[in-house]
Amino acid sequence: MKSANYYLLDVFTDQPFSGNPLAVFLEVGELDTRTMQSLANELNLAETVFLSAPTAPNHYPMRIFTPTRELPFAGHPTVGAAHLLAELNLVKPDRPLVLQPAIGELTIRYQQGRATFTTAQPVMIKESTIDRITAVELLGLDSHQVVGDPVIASYGLPFHLIELASQRALESVSLSSAHWMDTVAFSAAEQVYLYVVEQQSGETMQIRSRMFCMHDSICEDPATGSAAAALTGYLASLRRDALQCKIQQGEEMGRPSVIHTAANGDIKPGLATVSGHAVVVGKGAFYVAK
């Protein structure tokens, strides 16, 4: 038997036991895909990261797994892995870090205590298969609480973006499993991202959000970087000037998180940046067959 060592982090927060939990395994070159998936299933976190030995200074291959599948890209694993490498002095924070998930290389920089990455490809935006009336029924809200028709946006992982009218509406959401199976489960996106623009001043938006997906049942996520990026890319497509967003998520779960995003301005059209803190909260090891 040999050990597969991992670290536990809370991501998109600077406080332990808030934000989104993440496990990161280091130097996993001998682990096969089946074992990685089994480890992710055993940990049962939203995502688990596996980093191989660097291919060049500050260049790390990265694979991301949920308990049931591998993902091409996800935001909180990217930010969390970057923070762990810096915490362990495995990278030089004054130089860009390059993580290499399936979607393509992601360049990460360390600024103001946060890890910041730029998406690997332009945002994809298309009509949602959920209309406004269907969204009302899905969310258990009144018709005036849903703003306009949803859209789908993606930087590698697609989300139905649904704007709500107020924080009260966001807190009042009561998802219908039956409507989910009819409208979301077999759609072009298996995740729903709800958001409220609480305040807007010039290029800055204060946003509250919630993200839901379905595994064995409907689950909520406390901090979703890929969804925050998708929302930012969509909002940026509606304007020409620079956009900066501070997105708060996880409040309803007792795991508050903060995700900083930006688009337009000095950022190449169609791309977005995602930024956040993370804290290391523990470590462990699994015994796996040689």
Residue 113: DSSP 8-state: T
Q: How many angstroms separate the CA atoms of 101 and 86, rounded?
A: 18
Rounded to 5 degrees, φ, ψ at 187 are -90, -175
Annotated active-site residue in 47, 163, 171, 220: 47
Residue 189 and residue 144 in contact, taking contact as beta carbons nearer than 8 Å = no
Which tokens go with 265?
């301005």
Residue at 143: amino acid letter:
S
What separation in angstroms does the CA of 37 have from each of 64, 107, 131, 215, 271?
Answer: 9, 25, 35, 15, 30
CA proximity to 54, closest of 90, 96, 6: 90
Distance CA 2, CA 108 (A): 32
- Is residue 47 part of the annotated active site? The answer reads yes
Look at the alpha carbons of 215, 221, 223, 225 in this order and tell me if their dihedral is positive or negative: positive
Over the Cα atoms of the chain, what is R_g? 19
Strand partners, 97: 108
Instruction: Report, as residue numbers or ranges, the catalytic residues.
Output: 47
